[in-house]
Chain A
Amino acid sequence: MTPEILTYADMGLKWPILSLLTYIPVIGAIIIMLFLRRDNTIRWFANIVVLVDFVLSLRLIPGFIIDRHALQFVEKAPWIESLGAQYFLGVDGISILLVLLTTFLGVLAVLSSWTAIQDRVKEYYIFMLLLQTGMLGVFFSLDFFLFYVFWEIMLVPMYFLIGVWGGPRKLYAAIKFFLYTLAGSVLMLLAILGLYFLHYRQTGELSFEVMKYYGMDIPMHIQRWLFLAFFVGFAIKVPMFPFHTWLPDAHVEAPTAGSVILAGVLLKMGTYGFVRFSLPLFPQATMWFLPYGITLAVIGIVYGALTAMMQPDMKKLVAYSSVSHLGFVMLGLFALNQQGVEGGILQMINHGLSTGGLFLVVGLIYERRHTRMIKDFGGLSHQMPLYAIMFMIITLSSIGLPSLNGFIGEFTILLGGFKALWMKPVVALGFLPKEWATNMSTLMVLLATSGIVLGAAYMLWMYQRVMFGKLENPKNMELKDLNLREVMTLIPIIILCFWIGIYPKPFLRFMDAAVMNTVLMTNPQAALAEMKQMREMQMNAAPGQGMEAPSGMQLPPGHPPISMPGQHMMPGQQSAMPPGHPPISMPGQTPAMPAGHEAMMEQFRAGESHGMRRGLTFMEPAAAGHGEAPEAAHADPHGHSGDK
C-alpha cells in the first residue's frame, strides 16, 4: 500500500521547500545567536523569520494534490547508509494541515511574546525558533530515524522555554515534561528498532522508511508489544488518561507562547503519531487494543472536563480542557472509520486554534495583572469590551457552538463514534461479562457526548466568573483594553475558527484521500462497508448515474464522493482515466471520480490487504456480482486467510 511519491521537482518547484520550511527557523536562530545584540532587533527579526516561514508554507497549498493519497514535495536522500537511515521529507493529507497549523501558531506565539518576555530575550527567541524547526521536522519526516531525531530535538527547546521563562514551579514542571516524554519516546525507539529488524529479516533490506513498514506481516504477539510501546510514547504526548499528569504542570508554568505551542502543536504529535504510525502499522493490534483505547479516551473526555470545572486557575482549567478535547480526538481516531479519523484530524486543528487562542487570551490578562486566578477577576467585560468579545468567540469555539470550528470537529467525531460504537459490541473489555459489551460501547459514545455538555459548563462558568458581574477588585479598574498588536494575534485565529465552522470542506478535502487510505489499511471492513453503502445509496437515488453523492444524502461535512470501482463508469471517463493511473487535477477542481479509491480497490483485488490476512469477509455475497473481490479473497495466493 505504498502511496505514490512525488518529489518537489515533480511538482514543479525549484527549491526543496520542505527543507527550507524546516531550516529557516534554525538559520534564523543561528543568525540571532551570532550577530544580533539589541533586544528589539531580535524581536523584529524573529517575527520576520516566522512570518516568512508561514508565508512560505502557504506555497504548499496551491500545488497540493487532493484527489488521491500521495506523498508530496518529497525530498529523499541517503543519510547514514550503513544503518539505512534516509533524509526523507514529505507531506500528505494527514500532515499538511498540521504543518500549516505549526507555522501559523508559530507566528502568533512569537508575536505574542513581544512584551511578555523581557528577560533573556535573545535566548528566548533562539529556543522558540529551534522549537519551530523541531516540530516541522516531526511532521515532515517519513523516515523513522529522522522522525525520532526531530521528535527528541523538539523536547530540548521546550524544556528551556518552561524552565527559564516559566512560573514559580518552573523547574519541577520542566523536568517532569522532559522525563515523561523522554520515557515514552525511548520505548518507542525500541519498537522502531524492533520493526526495523523485522523488516530486515523479511526483506533483507535495512531501511527506516515508514511506508515500507506498512503492510508488513507482523505476528500478533510481536505486534501487540510494538503497538504498546508506540502507544505509551504517543499517549504520553497526547496526553491520554492516565498519562496526562505532566500536562497541567507544564501548561501552568510555561510562558504564554510556550503554552500556545505546547497545546497547539506538541500535543498533536501524539495524535498524529497514532494516525501515521500506530494504526496503519499494527492493524490487528489496534483492533485488539480498541476496547481499552476507547475506554481511556472516554475517561479522558469526562475526567478532563470534570477536573477542569473545579480549577481555580484559568490556565490549569484550559490545560484540563485539553485533556478532554484530546480525548475526543482519540475517540475519533479509534472509531477507525472515515468520519471518525477525519473528525479527529480536524479536531486536532480546531484544538490547536481554540486552545492556542485561549492560552493567548489568558496570557494577555496575566501579563496585565500577573494572576490567573478566576477569583481575582469579575466584571472585566465593562473594563475591556474588546477583550471580552474575543474571549467569548474563542470560548464558544472551544465549546463547539455550531458555526464555529469546534462544532464541526466534535460532530464529525461523534458521527464516526456512533457509527462504530452504537449498539455494537466493540468495547468488549476482557474483565467484564461478554453480554455487557454492546451496552458498554453505547455507553461510551453517550459519555463522550456528555463531554460536550460538560465542556460548555466549565468554559461558560469560567467566562461568567471572569467577565460578568460587578467590577469589584480595585486592581482591575485600571486594566487597559487590547492594543493593536494583541488584537492582531487573535484576529487570525478567530477568522479561521469561523471559516472552519462555516465552510470546512476545503480543510476536510485535504485529508480525504489520505485518511481513506489509513482507514482502509487499519479497518478495511469499515472502509469497504462504507463504500458499499454509499454505492447502494447512489444506485437507489440515481441508478446508473454519476459518481457523486446526491445532494440530499447524509454525507458528513466535506465527505469525499465515494464510488465503487469498475461500476457505472461513464464510457468517457473510463477512457480518460484508466484505473490505477489517476489524473492530476487542478486545485479547487472537484474530480468527477476519486481515482485514489480505484487504486486501493486494485490492491485489494491483488489480495494484499490486512483484512484478508485476518480472514475477514468484508463483502456481502450480494456484492459478489458487482466486484471480483470475494473471488480474489478465496484465491489468496499467500494463504493468509485462516491466519489469525
Chain B
Amino acid sequence: MNLLSGDLKLVLPEIFISVTAMGILILGTFVRERGRTWLACVTLSALAVTGYYLMTLRSNPFHPAYSSMYAHDGMALVFKMLFIVVGILAVLVSYDFLRTRGIPCAEFFALILFSTVGMMLVASAYDFMLLFVGLELSSLATYILVGLTKKDLWSNEAAIKYFLLSIFASAILLFGISIVYAATGTTNFGEIASRGSDLTTRQPLAAVVALVFLVAAFGFKITAVPFHMYAPDVYQGAPTPVTIFLAVGPKAAAFAGLIRVLGAVHAMSSDWLMLVSALSFLTMTVGNVGAVLQTNVKRMLAYSSIAHAGYALIGVASIAVDDRAGGVFPSSTASVIFYLVAYTIMNVGAFSLLMYMRRDKGFGEDLADFSGLARRRPVVAAAMLIFLLSLAGIPPSIGFLGKFYIFATAVRSGLYWLAVAGVLNAVVSLFYYARIVVYMFMKKQERDVSDVRSFALNLALGASAVATVVLGIFPQTILDVIARATSNIFTGGIIQ
C-alpha cells in the first residue's frame, strides 16, 4: 500500500513541520549561534513548502479522516494557510530581535513550529480529544516562548500568569468536554451533533452547563471579556515577536476551534446566540475603553486586540442565525475567517513597529517614544499610519473590508444592536489609534531613542503594509478562496 495515499496525505503538513521542528532543535545544538541565518532559512522554507503543499490539496468533499477524528475541509485548509503565514511573519520579525537579546534561536524557531502544528491540529479537529491535544500543544509551546527572555522580570511574570490562567482554562474546557461526553457518550463532533437534540430534552441543564464551560474556555483563548484579564499583562510582558505570534496565531486557532465546537453542540443547545452576542459586546467595549486609557503602545495594542476579538465574535454570533438568512451573500463563517486574516495582517504590522525604536536597554514602547517618528523615519511612520487606519476600519484597507463584512453579516442576520454597538466601538477605537498618529506626525521628538534597522523586520513590515492596502482594494481573490473554503465545511447542526 502506498504510504502517501489516503489519510496520511492529509496530515503530511503536520508531520513535516513536527519533523522540521525536531530537526532544528537537534541542529541547533551543533551550529550554535553562527548558523542562525541557516536555521531561519530552514524554518522559513519548511513553512513555505508546507504552505505550497496545502494549496495543492483539494478539500472537496468534506472528509473526516482517522476514524472521524480529523476533519479535512476548506475551513481547516484556510486556517492552516493562515497559521503558516503567521509562522513566517513571526520568524521574520524575530530574527534580529533574537540576536540582540541573545536568545537561542533554534529553541525559538522550534517552539514556533511546534505551536504552529498544534494550531493546525485545532483547525482540523473533529473530535474533542484531538482538539484538546492541539490546543495544549500550541499552548505549551507558547508558555515557554513568553518566558524566553529569562532575565527579564516582566517576561517571567507574564509567563507565570499565562501558564496558570491557561491551565485553568484548559481545566474548564476539559470539564465542559466531560459533561458533553457523559451526556452523549461520545467526543466526536459529528456524533454529538446528531445525538445532541435528545440531550436537550432529557437533560436541559447539562446541555446549558456544558455550553457555558466550553464557551468560557474558548473565551479565555480568544481573550473575550470577562476572560481577558491576563492578556494586557502577558502581551506587554512577553518579548515583542512572541506577542505578535500570540496575538494572532493562537487566537485565530481558538476561533477555529470555537466555530467547530459551536457547530457541534448547536443541536444540543442552540441558544448560544445570546451568550456569544453578550461576550462580543463586552469584549469590544471593554477592549476599546481599556485601550483609551493606555500610554504604553504595546499595552494599547493588546487592548485593541481584545476589542478585535469582539468584532470577530459578532461574526461568530451571526453563525447562529445563518440558516434564517441564507442567500448568495457569503456566510458568516467566511466573514469571521476574513476578519481574522485582516486582523493578522494589520496586527503583525502594528506590533512589529514596537521593535523599531530602542531606548535604554529595551524598546521604545511608550507613546512618547513615537513622537516625531514621521520626521525621523517617514516610511516607517507611513506604514504605521496604514496599520492604524486599517485597525480603525478606515478604507481603503483590509481592516475596513473585514469590519464591513462583519457588520454586513450582523445586519443580514438581524443582529442590529450588535452592529450598532460595533460601529460605535469603531469610532471609539479611532480615538486611541489617532493618538499614536498624533505622536508620530504632529509632535516633535520628545525622547532620545535610537532606530533599529533590520532587513527581516523591514520585510515583514513592508509585506504587511502592502497587503493591508492591496488586499483592501482588490480582495476578490482572497474572498473567493474563503468563500470556496467555507462552502463545504462541517458546522454540525447549522445549515450553511
Contact = CB atoms under 8 A, between A and B. Distances in A.
Interface of A: 80-83, 123, 148-149, 152-153, 155-156, 159-160, 163-164, 170-171, 175, 178-179, 182-183, 186-187, 189-190, 193-194, 196-197, 200, 204, 206
Contacts of A182: 394, 426-427, 430
Contacts of B320: none
Interface stretch (B226-234, B295-303, B476-484): B476-484
Nearest to B374: A123
B160 interface: no
A200 B419 CA distance: 19
A293 to B, nearest CB: 22
6 contacts: A149-B400, A163-B441, A179-B427, A179-B430, A186-B424, A206-B328
A82 B480 contact: yes
Interface residues of B, number: 34
B416, B427, B479, B480, most chain A CB atoms within 10 A: B427
- CB-based closest 7 A-B pairs: A186-B423, A149-B395, A193-B411, A183-B427, A82-B479, A163-B442, A193-B408
B438 A163 contact: yes
Contact of A194 (B411, B475, B480): B411
Interface string B371-405: 00010000000000000010000111000100011
Contact of A190 (B328, B423, B479): B423
Nearest to B412: A197
Contacts of B424: 183, 186
A204 B374 CA distance: 48
Contacts of B480: 82
B395 A153 contact: yes
Contacts of B416: 190
Interface in B425-479: 426-427, 430-431, 434, 438, 441-442, 475-476, 479
Contacts of A81: 476
A189 B395 CA distance: 12
A182 B403 CA distance: 14
A81 B480 CA distance: 9
Contacts of B434: 159, 175, 178
B30 interface: no
A292 B441 CA distance: 42
Interface string B100-138: 000000000000000000000000000000000000000
B167 interface: no
A320 B423 CA distance: 30
B426 A155 contact: no
Nearest to A153: B395
A160 B385 CA distance: 11
B423 A189 contact: yes
Given A149-B396, A153-B395, A196-B408, A82 B430 contact: no
B327 interface: yes
Contacts of B405: 83
B330 interface: yes
Contacts of A187: 420, 423
B431 A179 contact: yes
A82 B474 CA distance: 12
Interface in B328-360: 328-330
Contacts of B423: 186-187, 189-190
Contacts of B374: 123
Given A179-B427, A190-B407, A152 B395 contact: yes
B396 A153 contact: yes
Contacts, number: 84
A163 B374 CA distance: 14
A145 B475 CA distance: 14
Contacts of A197: 329, 408, 411-412
B405 to A, nearest CB: 8
A82 B394 contact: no
A548 B202 CA distance: 82
A167 to B, nearest CB: 13
Nearest to B396: A149
A155 B389 CA distance: 11
A183 B420 CA distance: 11
Nearest to B483: A82
A200 B330 CA distance: 13
Given A82-B476, A82-B479, 18 more contacts: A80-B476, A80-B479, A83-B408, A83-B479, A163-B442, A178-B434, A179-B427, A182-B394, A182-B426, A182-B430, A183-B427, A187-B423, A190-B411, A190-B420, A190-B423, A193-B412, A196-B408, A206-B329
Nearest to A180: B427
Interface in B1-21: none
A148, A189, A194, A196, most chain B CB atoms within 10 A: A189
A197 B408 CA distance: 9
Given A82-B330, A182-B427, A156 B441 contact: no
B300 to A, nearest CB: 16
B396, B442, B483, most chain A CB atoms within 10 A: B442
A187 B425 CA distance: 11
Contacts of A190: 407, 411, 416, 419-420, 423
Given A80-B479, A163-B442, A164-B441, A175 B431 contact: yes
B394 A155 contact: yes
A230 to B, nearest CB: 14
A81 B394 CA distance: 21
Contacts of A159: 434
A467 to B, nearest CB: 36
A160 B423 CA distance: 23
Contacts of A194: 411
B430 A171 contact: no
Contacts of B407: 189-190, 193
A140 to B, nearest CB: 16
B327, B400, B408, most chain A CB atoms within 10 A: B408
Nearest to B438: A171
B396 to A, nearest CB: 6
Contacts of A175: 431, 434, 438
Contacts of A123: 374
Given A80-B476, A80-B479, A156 B394 contact: yes
A153 to B, nearest CB: 6
Nearest to B441: A164
B395, B412, B426, B475, most chain A CB atoms within 10 A: B395
B395 A186 contact: no
A13 to B, nearest CB: 25
Contacts of B400: 149, 152
A78 to B, nearest CB: 9
Contacts of B430: 178-179, 182
A40 B329 CA distance: 51
A81 B475 CA distance: 10
A160 B434 CA distance: 10
A189 B374 CA distance: 32
A204 B394 CA distance: 29
B389 A156 contact: yes
A195 B426 CA distance: 21
A189 B476 contact: no
B442 A164 contact: yes
Interface string B219-242: 000000000000000000000000
Contacts of B442: 163-164, 170-171
Contacts of B431: 175, 179
A138 to B, nearest CB: 12
Nearest to B426: A186
Contacts of B328: 200, 204, 206
Contacts of B404: 189
A136 B423 CA distance: 26
A545 B423 CA distance: 59
B439 to A, nearest CB: 10
Given A179-B430, A197-B412, A160 B441 contact: yes
A206 B389 CA distance: 27
Nearest to A175: B434
A174 B408 CA distance: 29
Contacts of B438: 163, 171, 175
